[in-house]
Structure formats: structure tokens, C-alpha cells
Structure 1
Amino acid sequence: MKTTFHAGTALRSALIIIIAVLWFVPTYLIIVNAFNSNEGYTGEVAWFPQDFALFENIAIAWRAANLGPSLMNSLLYAVVAGALAVLVAALAGFAVSAIQGGWRTFWFWLIYSGALFPAQAFLRPLFTGYAETGLYDTRWGLFLIYIATCVPFSFFIMRNHMLSIPPEINEAAQLDGAGWWTVFTRFFLPLSKSALAAAFIFQFVWVWNELLFGITLSYSEEIRPVMAALAGLQSNYGTVGPPVVLAGALFVSLPTVIVFLLFQRVFASSLGGAKI
């Protein structure tokens, strides 16, 4: 028994180390090569920094891709779309967890199925529909698609959390004459603060890092998100050089890394114990 336990523990530790190394090596190479200057870049991957031109590369990327407006756009999209999606998901999660009915499983799978289909499947109809309705290259258009794509997984988080709330709270509130809206706003929402925070942060990170819809449904600098602007910088590969592209990628990734590190405990406490 002890031998099996130790063998299993050693195997798990080895797998964790291998996965950590596989994740760390590409990240390390990105950081190291972002430090190198364009003049010193030879076309080969550097394993150790040869220059200290990171801030110079970031400045070049900022000017070449005009990252200022796109950073503000991504901040706006991530905050507004994330907040509205979590609110809609909380309402839907309350409906399928607290309100009795024979269709709760059906509604769960119907809403959650939106997180199961690849985004590429929606690109052609979305592009055609946006072009015909005037939503193409507009903030409203990006808001709509970001909210729609953020709802399913946020709903999954909120529904699972609300299932853990004791049903006696709901029953006692209704015996006192409270309606569904009162039960939701005065009891379920205050008890779901950690799940709301986790869902919002998760969607903030997703919207910030999203590229596919950004480059498909927008093109102007006043509308496009930051990842689309960074993709435009990469298309000018021969002009700015790979170190500048890597430095720009590191710079625009900092907000999501900081948010995740600050709120990782919220993720762990809210995403555990998922139910289907």
C-alpha cells in the first residue's frame, strides 16, 4: 500500500514538473528574445539575453501599432461586456437553480452549449450579418458578440454556485412574501459575491486576449481591440522585427497576468465542485 502511494505521488509530481517545463520554456524564450535589440537580432532563437532593449522595443511597438486607443478599447470591452455577461448569467443561473420546474436540465444544456461550439463556426454568418445590419466595425457589434460568447461559461459558474446555496433560504423568503426578484437581489446575489467576481475576472481575461472576432468584425484603429492591433504589428514583421513584436506581446499581456495573480484564490474557491 505504501509503495503504491509513493509511486503514485512520484508519478504525479513528475507529470507536474514536465507540464511546468513545457509551459515555462516558450515563455522564457519570449521574454529573453524580447530583450534583444533589432540590430542584434540574427534570425536565430536566443537562449540568453544579449541586450537590454526591452523598453525601447515596447516604445517602438507602441508607436508602430498605435496601441494607446486599442488598449482603451480592450479595457472598455472587457469591463462592460464582462459585467453585463455575468449579470445575465447570474439571472439565468438563478432561474435554473432556484425556480422549480421540469425543464431546468434542458435550459442548462441549451445555454451552456454556447461554450461548446468553436468560435470559427460563427465567423461567416456573423460577418455577413454584421455587414448587412451596419454593426461591422462598431463598438456595439463587438459588445454584442463579446457578451454573447461570455454568457455560457459565466452561466456555468453561477449555476453551480447557486446550487450550493441552501434551498431553505429560498423557501423562508417566499414564506415571508418575497417575490423572485427580491429573493435574487437580496439573498442570492449577496451570497454569490465570490462566484460573481470569479466569473467577471475570467471573462475580463478572455475578452482582453480575444483575437478572432476582433480582426474579423473590426478594422479601424478607433474600434479594434488591442490583440487585433498587435496582430497588425505582426503583419509588419519585416519592418519592426521579431523582438519588437515579442516585446509588444509581453506588454499587452501584463494586465491579464496581474489580474489573474491578484485574484487566483477567487478562481480556486469558486470553480471547485462543479456540477452538471
Structure 2
Amino acid sequence: MARRLRNALLVAVALLWLLPTYLVVVNAFTAADEYVGPRWWFTSFALAENISTAFATADIGQAMWNTFLYSAGSALIAVVVAALASFAVVIMPVRRPVLWFWLIYAGTLLPLQVFLSPLFNAYAATSLYDTQYGMVLIYSALAVPFAFFVVRNYLTTAPKEMREAAQLDGAGWFTMFLRIHLPLARGAMVAAFLFQFLATWNDLLFGITLSTSPNVRPLMAALAELNGQYSGLGPPVILAAGLVASIPTVVLFLSFQRFFVNALRLTP
């Protein structure tokens, strides 16, 4: 009886979560000139036309490429920096490792809105505003603390005997990092990369604050402009663009879901 109740509850929750997705898909297929309100069933199949309109109007293709560059580039940089910092804090004999951990991890404790005003002023006073390398820089900085948290937690489980054996064999810190601990932490690094990739892909806050040009603007900022400046195109066009924007994240999650599960196991 308890098992049936649990399964029924899980089905109900799944249907509740799938309902908004279903409505997005149905209304994205609706022709823009036929849309008079939310549809609950397919009445037309104009998805390709709506996507074409969105891409031509708001330059969604360029925005997707920009976002891929920011997501992949910043996640890669953050994971490498996090791995180096984790190795230094956990494996190397540094003084006050707990203090160093909190100094790095504190970057995740403040709301992102706190950084907007000083970042905007700093970017506006330099050549970083509305540039691709400026966007990669801020996304990398934001991604380091959580990536450090994931990789560091994994390295704490590494046996000390490996370090002692490597030192007896004459291995230096750099050799130990590259040949021993980096391969061991590969799963945690992949999980951290995926988390930060998805977080950057879905970011809107910094995209609309630190960029304006179509060749720099990330995907979510382009969708926001499509919903604002080009709202006259109709909800089906906006929903179709949002549907296309969500496909890479869904594919990525389904393809590497075991790394997400492993990352959750590593975080207390």
C-alpha cells in the first residue's frame, strides 16, 4: 500500500512538472496570426515558421553561439582553477586550509545582485563592457567557488597514502597533481563543469547588465529582448525561441545525468 501511494505521488509530481512544458510545446506550435490565447491542444503546426521568425528578428543563432562560448569557456576555466585551488588546500601542506576554503567558497554566499552595481561601474570604466572576453571573465569568476566546493570535497576522500607514496618516489607537487590527483578528480571536475555550463547558459542577470550588442549578447538576454522590444510578434514566436534555447541543456543533462548524481553524492 505504501509503495502504491509513493508511486502515485511521484506520478502526480511528474505530471505537475510536465504540465508547463506541455503548454509551452503546444503554444509554440501555434501560428502567430491564429493565437488568441493559451491553447491546450495542437491546432496548427507552425513551429518551424515561429523559430525562423525568432532567429531572423532577434538573431537567436548568434546569441546561442555567444552563450555556448561563455558557458564552455567559463566552465572550463573555473574547473581548472578550482582543481588547482583544491589540490593546494587539501593535498599541499598550506597553513589554515579551512580559512582558505571559506575565503574561496564565500563567493557563493552573497546574492548575485550585490555584484551588479560595482561590476557595471568597473566594466564601464574599462574596455570590458560589452565584450566577449569580459563576459567570459565574469562568468568564470562566478563559477570558481562552486566548482572548488565540488572538487575539494572529492579530494578530501583521496587516501593520504597516495601522496606519501608519490613523495617517496620523488614526485613533486606538479607531478602529483597532473598524474595522480587530476585523473582521480576527473568525475568531480566533469560534474562541476556541467553544473557551471548550465548555470551560465541560463543566466539573464549579467547578460542584460554587461552586454548590449547582438554579437556579444547571450541567449537569455536575446530572449528577453524578443519578449520586450519584439513582443508584437506574438507569444508563439517567443515560446518557440525558448523551446529551442532549452534543447541543449536538456540534451546535456540527459546525456551526463550520472555525473550530476555523483556530484550530489559528493556534496554534503
In structure 1, give the amino acid aligned to 2:238: V
Distance in 2, Cα, partners of 1:116 & 1:17: 35
Give the match for residue 186 of structure 1.
179
The answer for unaligned runs of 5 or more in structure 2 is none
Which of 10, 25, 32 is equivalent to 1:31? 25
Give the match for residue 87 of structure 2.
94
Give the match for residue 238 of structure 2.
245
Which of 235, 242, 247 is equivalent to 1:254? 247
Distance in 2, Cα, partners of 1:253 & 1:81: 19
* Structure 1 residues 238 and 193: CA distance shift in structure 2, 3 A: closer
Distance in 1, Cα, partners of 2:165 & 2:215: 51
Moved more, 29-38 or 66-75: 66-75
- Secondary structure of the 1:144 match is helix
Report matched runs for 1:93-132 at 5 Å: 93-132=86-125
Which of 186, 192, 197 is equivalent to 1:199? 192
- Once the two structures are superposed, what CA deviation does each residue of 1:82-134 show, in whole Å capped at 9, x if it has no partner? 10100001111112221234511222122112112211111111101111122
Which of 222, 228, 234 is equivalent to 2:227? 234
Which of 165, 174, 184 is equivalent to 1:172? 165
The answer for unaligned runs of 5 or more in structure 1 is 1-5
Cα RMSD for the two superposed structures: 1.7
User: Is 1:53 matched up with 2:46?
Assistant: yes
Deviation of the 1:16 alpha carbon: 3.5
Distance in 2, Cα, partners of 1:15 & 1:121: 39
Deviation of the 1:66 alpha carbon: 0.9
Tell me the TM-score normalized by structure 2.
0.94
Aligned residues: 268
In structure 1, give the amino acid aligned to 2:35: Y
Deviation of the 1:22 alpha carbon: 2.9
Distance in 2, Cα, partners of 1:110 & 1:28: 43
User: Is 1:272 matched up with 2:265?
Assistant: yes
Deviation of the 1:14 alpha carbon: 5.2
Distance in 2, Cα, partners of 1:93 & 1:14: 43
Tell me the TM-score normalized by structure 1.
0.91
- Once the two structures are superposed, what CA deviation does each residue of 1:211-257 show, in whole Å capped at 9, x if it has no partner? 11011000001111111111111113542100000000000111111
Deviation of the 1:74 alpha carbon: 1.1
